[in-house]
Structures are given as C-alpha cells and as structure tokens.
Chain A
Amino acid sequence: MKDLLSVIMLLGIYSLLSACFFVAMDAVDVAFTEAAVGAGISTLLMLVAITMTGREENPSRHKPALALIVVTITGSLLIYGTLDMPYFGLAQDPVHLHVAPRYVNDSMQEIGVPNIVTSVLASYRAFDTFGEVVVIFTAGMGVLALLSVVRRPKDIVIDSSKIDSFNKCMHEEHLILRIVAKMLIPFILLFALYVQFHGDYGPGGGFQAGVIFAAAIILYTMLFGMNTARRVINQSATQLFAAIGVLLYGSVGVISLLEGKNFLDYRVLSTDPLAGQHLGILLIELGVGITVTAVMVIIFFNFAGRGNDQQNKENSDS
C-alpha cells in the first residue's frame, strides 16, 4: 500500500479503536484526549504535510528482511522480560496499594474537586503539566523557526476585491458545506468552552478544550480559504496568545513563591485553602487551553500557508 492518504485513513481507524479500548477500561479523560487529538488534529496535520511532500511513498531501496528479524528478536525479549511483572489489574499490585488509595482517599478533603484525574494532573502533579505546556510551546516555536516564510509585500494578497471574487467562485462548489459549517462552528466553539470549564466535574480540561477549539478554526480555514482566514485570525496575535498561556501558568507558580510557599502551591491564592485550590486549577487550565489552541493554529497555518504560497506562485508564473 503505497498511497499515503490511505495510510492516514487507517491510522485514523487505529486511534479510534484505542479510544474505544480506553472507554472499555473506564478511563474517561484519556479516551477524550485520544479521540480529540488522535482522530482529529493528528489526521489533519499529517494531511497538510503530505500536500507538500507528495502522495506516493518513495520505493524503498533496501530489503526489510533484516530489520524485521531484529525487531522480532527485540520484541520477543521484551515480552519475555514482562512475564515477571504482576498481572494486570490484580488488587495486590504495589501500584494499587500505595499510590492510588492515597489519591482516591485524600483528594476530596485536600483539593475538593470531584474529578480526581484533574486534581492529580493540575494540583498534585502541576509541575509535570507545566513541563508539558512548555514542550507544546517549544514545538510551536520550532515550526515557526523552520517553516515560516517571510512574506514580501507583493506576495500578500490584500486586494479585497480579488478575495471577494475568489470567494464567489468557490461559493458554488462548497455551498452546502459552507452553510452547514456556519451553523456548526459557533456550537463547536461553545462546546470547547464548556469542556474547558467543566473539567473539574466531568471529563475535560485544558488540553482537550484547546484541541477542539483549534479544530473548529481549521474547519473554517479549509472551507473558506486561506486568505479569508488570515484576515479573520491575526497571525501575530496568535503568537502572542501562545506565549500568554505559558506566562499565565508560570505566574501562578511565581505568586505562590512570592507568598513564601513552594512553587505552584495553590493554597495561598485565597483565604480558604480549598477555594485557593479551585482558583489555581481554573487559572492553569485556562493557560493550558490558550497555549494549545494557539500552537495548533500556528502549526496548521504555517504548513498550509506554505503550500498555498507555492501554488499561488505557480499559478502566477504559468
């Protein structure tokens, strides 16, 4: 199977199956994130990438038999090594005796948030989540550094009459899709906000909300054209938002330092420690959501804009 588009489709099915497994294992937040990221953003970004690299896979120049033998031997050694580990899900496993009961028993008194996954992610392990947000921000910066094209003024299509005529001729092709999308996109954005702020009580949180928000913006861009989307969503504002999210997260931690406690200790944010925890979790989830949205939009616009510029250049050359 050399057609990369079909391979991307099958990867979409694979991530769907993973989401179903997670649902069957009763892990709601993980299934949420897997469904949103794996089947949505990942597929779209890989599609945009293959518009620039070409649709067929290059013929491989070496025989894969030797690699297959190495992989099989290594894999079987690893499986042999796991036979010593305790069985999956037994009640006497060490992981079920020390770590999990501590969180399950004490999370409600110490933090007061019903969703234990959010309390672990955002309060007990807030420093790890800070590292994740910084990694996402770095990925966005990497894409900007490698792929952003400095646009000369004569390449920028700011002639609004040309944009309007282009939009009119595309209007006939995608009429039904545009009307349905115009009705659906506000609902998707509203649902992303619901997921963001409801993360304390149900599945959700900053990462999932950011991904859904970015998916709505990508839908708008695909259906209405890059030029219209560039007028609606300002590029420098998006880059500013990516930085603001990380700064918000870091500032909450620094405020705790200035009050004399540890970094990212939320109890000092208010007179009541439980209210302080709630406020802290709310603020950092907001920071995570803003950064994830902005970075996804930056990556998509850079990939798609580059392909769009190449096509415009070819159309104007020929």
Chain B
Amino acid sequence: MLIAATIAILVVMIMAMIRAFIGPTLYDRILAVNMFGTKTVLLISLLGFLMGRPEFLDIAIVYALINFISVIGVLHYSDSSIFKRSDQQKK
C-alpha cells in the first residue's frame, strides 16, 4: 500500500510539472511549483518509511518550511509595481 501511494504521488508530480510548463500565466506556474513542493514533502516521508530510515522526516519538515517561504517570496516580488522602474527606464 505504501508503494501504491508513492506511485500515485509520482503521477501527480508529473501532472504538476506539465502544468508548470504549459501554464499560460505566471500564476499558473507558481501554483504548480507550490503543489510540487507539498508533494515532495510527502514523497520524502513515504520514501523514508519505505526504506526504513526515519531521519528523512527532518528533511520533510525543512522542505515544507522552505516551500512556504519561497512561495511568499515569489508573490511579494511578482507585484508589478516593483518592476515598473525598469520598463520606464527602457522607454
């Protein structure tokens, strides 16, 4: 059953990557990356249980926190008012 769950998560990660490549707007890509990140957290926990090494849970905790910080960072910096400067300088 653990193996079936791992395969399901791998399938969903591939779907998220497809959306990250073809997403027409930027926000689709950010959504896909966020989803990929939370799937990675679970994938690492499941792999840790499968291989009998529970130390992987530390990596899962760190990964969840880092994913959150990255998404907040990207959203903060995707605000287009920060980038207007360079467009005005080019014109």
Residues in A lying within 8 Å of B, measured CB to CB: 3, 5-6, 8-10, 12-13, 16, 19-20, 23-24, 26, 28, 31-32, 35-36, 39-40, 43-44, 47-48, 50-51, 53-55, 177, 181, 184, 188, 191, 195, 202-204, 208, 212, 215-216, 218-219, 222-223, 307, 310-311, 314
Contacts and interface: CB of A to CB of B under 8 A. Distances in A.
B68 to A, nearest CB: 8
Contacts of A44: 69-70, 73
A314 B74 CA distance: 23
Contacts, number: 122
Interface string B66-91: 11111011101110001101110010
B61 interface: yes
B11 interface: no
A310 B66 contact: no
A292 B59 CA distance: 19
Contacts of B63: 19, 35, 39
Contacts of A31: 44, 59
B62 A32 contact: yes
B20 A10 contact: yes
Interface in B35-82: 36-37, 40, 43-44, 47-48, 51, 53, 55-56, 58-59, 61-63, 65-70, 72-74, 76-78, 82
Contact of A51 (B40, B47, B82): B82
Nearest to A223: B72
Interface of B: 17, 20, 26, 29-30, 33, 36-37, 40, 43-44, 47-48, 51, 53, 55-56, 58-59, 61-63, 65-70, 72-74, 76-78, 82-83, 85-87, 90
Contact of B51 (A26, A48, A202, A218): A26
A19 B40 contact: yes
A51 B83 contact: yes
Contact of A55 (B61, B69, B76, B83): B83
Given A13-B20, A16-B36, A40 B26 contact: no
A188 B73 contact: no
B62 to A, nearest CB: 6
A300 to B, nearest CB: 10
B82 A20 contact: no
Given A47-B77, A48-B77, A16 B55 contact: no
A212 B56 CA distance: 17
B76 A12 contact: no
B29 A6 contact: yes
A37 to B, nearest CB: 9
A202 B54 CA distance: 10
B87 to A, nearest CB: 8
6 contacts: A8-B74, A9-B30, A13-B36, A35-B63, A47-B74, A215-B65
Nearest to A37: B66
A26 B48 CA distance: 9
Contacts of A191: 61-62, 65
A223 B72 CA distance: 9
